[in-house]
Amino acid sequence: MKIVVAKEILKANDQVAVENQETFGRDGVCVVNVMASPGAGKTSTILATIERLLPDLKSGVIEGDIASTIDADKIAERGIPVVQINTGGTCHLDAPMIKGALPHLPLPDIDVLFIENVGNLICPTSYKLGAHMNLVIASVPEGWDKPYKYPGIFAAADVVLLNKADMIEVFEFDVAAFERGVRMVNPDVEIIHISCKTNEGLDAWTENLRTRVGEHLFAGRS
Ligand SMILES: Nc1nc2c(ncn2[C@@H]2O[C@H](COP(=O)(O)OP(=O)(O)OP(=O)(O)O)[C@@H](O)[C@H]2O)c(=O)[nH]1
Ligand SMILES: [Mg+2]
């Protein structure tokens, strides 16, 4: 019985996710759902990426956190449109939360919308938001074994970023074992090593995203 109720909730969420995607389509916005553990570097990566997408692609951000406006304040300081969602304890964002945030963003002026999901490797994957792409960020200090312990989120990724690559030697991080774990659940996914501290890989990642955004906007027009 409980399973049926859970399924109904997810179905209702998915319907709103479809509506969100229709709104994004009307305004020509490409939406990236950014998922990772707490502290993996979601906000740092979003900021570094937005800088590199300019001036031709303009971004906006929805920040999801249990509490506080710390991340939204960081984004707003750079003059980037941002809405903070505080879930008050819920460990993921859902489609109705995103729908509620959209009227507070200048969508027609935004090409790429980053949604920073609540830091969590489990719950966010179950809730569609209406995004066009799932970006999963793993970070070196978390350990190489995360894809083996939390396969669902890596299976759902369109791109996996391995952040804090500057710490690989310090943490004796086993890159081959990490990548093997990702490929076990998502054989063809692109894995890009980045560091928001040294800037390693950020240009390569941004070019990858730029291509995806171009393809998305082109597909939307046809
Ligand atoms: N050494 C190193 N530190 C990093 C890197 N990227 C981010 N950090 C640091 O890691 C910490 C967390 O970064 P955030 O970008 O706030 O991470 P987050 O995933 O947004 O965190 P929450 O929103 O709290 O879940 C900060 O102290 C960053 O300066 C990196 O590539 N290398
Ligand atoms: Mg953050």
**How much distance in Å is there from the Cα of 192 to the middle of ligand 2?**
20
Q: Which of 63, 196, 205 to mutate to test the pocket of ligand 1 (most atoms within 8 A of CB)?
A: 196
Is this structure's pTM higher than 0.85? yes
pLDDT tens string 202-214:
999 999 999 999 9
The C-alpha torsion from 83 through 89 and 90 to 91, rounded to 10°, is: 90
- Closest residue (by CA) to atom 8 of ligand 1? 41
Q: Considering every ligand atom shown, identify the ligand nearest to the alpha carbon of residue 194 and give its number.
A: 1
Q: Are 58 and 160 in contact (CB under 8 A)?
A: no
**How much distance in Å is there from the Cα of 94 to the middle of ligand 1?**
23
Comparing C-alpha atoms, which of 195, 188, 185 is closest to residue 149?
185
Strands annotated E in the chain: 30-36, 59-65, 82-86, 112-116, 133-139, 159-163, 190-193
Question: Ligand 1 pocket by C-beta < 6 Å: which residues?
Answer: 36, 38-44, 71, 119, 163-164, 166-167, 195-197
Q: Considering every ligand atom shown, identify the ligand nearest to the alpha carbon of residue 120 and give its number.
A: 1
pLDDT for position 222 = 37
Q: Which two tokens stand for residue 174?
A: 């086993």
**How much distance in Å is there from the Cα of 40 to the middle of ligand 1?**
5
pLDDT tens string 66-115:
999 999 999 999 999 999 999 999 999 999 999 999 999 999 999 999 99
- Closest residue (by CA) to atom 27 of ligand 1? 39
Comparing C-alpha atoms, which of 96, 100, 125, 129 is closest to residue 115?
129
> What is the number of the ligand 1 atom nearest to the C-alpha of 45?
15
Q: Are 37 and 119 in contact (CB under 8 A)?
A: yes
Comparing C-alpha atoms, which of 111, 118, 119 is closest to residue 139?
119
- Closest residue (by CA) to atom 11 of ligand 1? 39
Q: What is the CA radius of gyration of the chain?
A: 17
pLDDT for position 216 = 77
Q: Which residues of the chain have pLDDT under 70?
A: 1-4, 217-222
